[in-house]
Structure 1
């Protein structure tokens, strides 16, 4: 029996039972040297709402928006409700507060191990530069991958952030060159998942959460459709 009498007793997180397809709108320009702010038209839906009142329920503390262009994709995040400073370390990126993104340019949801078309990126609001005050962007390897994606060159990934009293705002740009096989003129669908990691607030995810191996299994990711 669940500890909370109002909590649903389910063996699988409800999100796992669905294969989501979500439209993503374009933006021009997709990026600027100071970053961009995406409008509400670009907001991604709260798929984790399906898990509410189950053991897989997550706290929602971030507004996440996404846009695409032939040049690449941008994800914009606003994290609120924080009482503590962000925790970001360049030497411990995987444990830092920030935005993790998984992209499969072939949108293949029938495989359980990543291919060369699958990428994992991390963007943090701080942790770099003098006093660890600058945002960071990097590529991370996907565990158990059949073949690793092409290594991203320095400064290919772009990130801009602003710390606020209750959290931070962050804009991340992944250029087409950083995603093997990215070509919206030929393939309008991407496999996609995100995770916002926060030591204070917890974990916020998109297609599947902590009850599934979303960090390594492309079948756990949603489809985003790059509409015009």
Structure 2
């Protein structure tokens, strides 16, 4: 059978639910930052292309902001390689724009690089907000210290949690707008990159029209 010219995810517009979770972020420096339940897991579209996804991504919201957790299966064969342990990219559009192909001031990109510490048991996180190429207007760039995050590594895989507070999401207004544009890319340099919908064969990082919709559920 010949390979499809376009991925299956290209042919439909994904809308996923993000449940309301009051107790996040959790206080203190120990334990989970978010501890999101399985009900917050986004759909796995890898099966549409005959792939087995290796990471589970969970998303929830409350009046204070948006929480995202990545749970990856399996350990890297070369965890201390120079390019880092893993990378996570998140895109959020607080207006769920559908009629433009370039980012507006309501579109945000956040990136995190996980790097193994010398003890080979814990991870450092280099996280920040990045500008979006070819944007019609830029969202305000936040201070990295506003992005609460936690990364863990274990025999069975690794995890990453981040809380994006309302003040870093320009236009975040769940009472009047319960739909967000959302996309992610999870990479560990030894496995195929994982996306929510279409991947880098398309201008995913620049075109919010390619992002999925998150419906903020009460």
TM-score, normalization: structure 2? 0.88
Q: Following the alignment from structure 2 to structure 1, what is the Cα–Cα distance between the partners of residues 160 and 112? A: 8
The change in CA–CA distance for 1:144 and 1:88 in structure 2 (over 3 A counts) is farther
What does residue range 109-148 of structure 1 map to in structure 2 within 5 Å?
Answer: 109-126=98-115, 133-148=123-138
Secondary structure of 1:37 counterpart? coil
Quick check: 2:131–2:141 contact (8 Å CA) kept in 1? no
Q: Which position in structure 2 is the counterpart of 1:55?
A: none
Matched, 1:61 2:44: no
Say what the alpha-carbon RMSD is for the aligned residues: 2.4
Provide the residue aligned with 2:11 in structure 1.
Answer: 17
Cα separation, 1, equivalents of 2:85 and 2:75: 15
Correspondence for 1:226: 216
**Runs of at least 5 residues in structure 1 that lack an aligned partner in the other structure:** 53-57
Q: How does 1:60-209 map to 2 (within 5 A)?
A: 60-86=53-79, 97-126=86-115, 133-209=123-199
- Equivalent of residue 39 in structure 2, options 38, 41, 65: 41
Superposed CA offset, 1:164-195 (max 9, x none): 12431111111110010001011000000011
Superposition TM-score, scaled by structure 1 size? 0.85
SS at match of 2:193: strand
Deviation at 1:127, TM superposition (A): 6.3
Q: How many Å separate the matches in 1 of 2:47 and 2:155?
A: 26
Unaligned runs of 5+ in 2: none
Query: Whole-Å Cα distance in 1 between the matches of residues 64 and 162 of structure 2?
Result: 13
Could you say if the C-alpha distance between residues 72 and 129 of structure 1 is closer, same or farther in structure 2, counting changes exceeding 3 Å? Answer: farther
CA apart distance, 1:202: 2.3
Question: Alignment length, in residue pairs?
Answer: 213
Runs of 4+ in 1 over 6 A off after TM superposition: 127-132
CA distance in 2 between counterparts of 1:96 and 1:182 reads: 31
Aligned to 1:50, the other structure's residue is in SS state helix
The offset of 1:11, in angstroms, is: 1.7
* C-alpha displacement of 1:123: 2.3
Partner of 1:27: 21
Three-state SS of the structure 2 residue aligned to 1:155 is helix
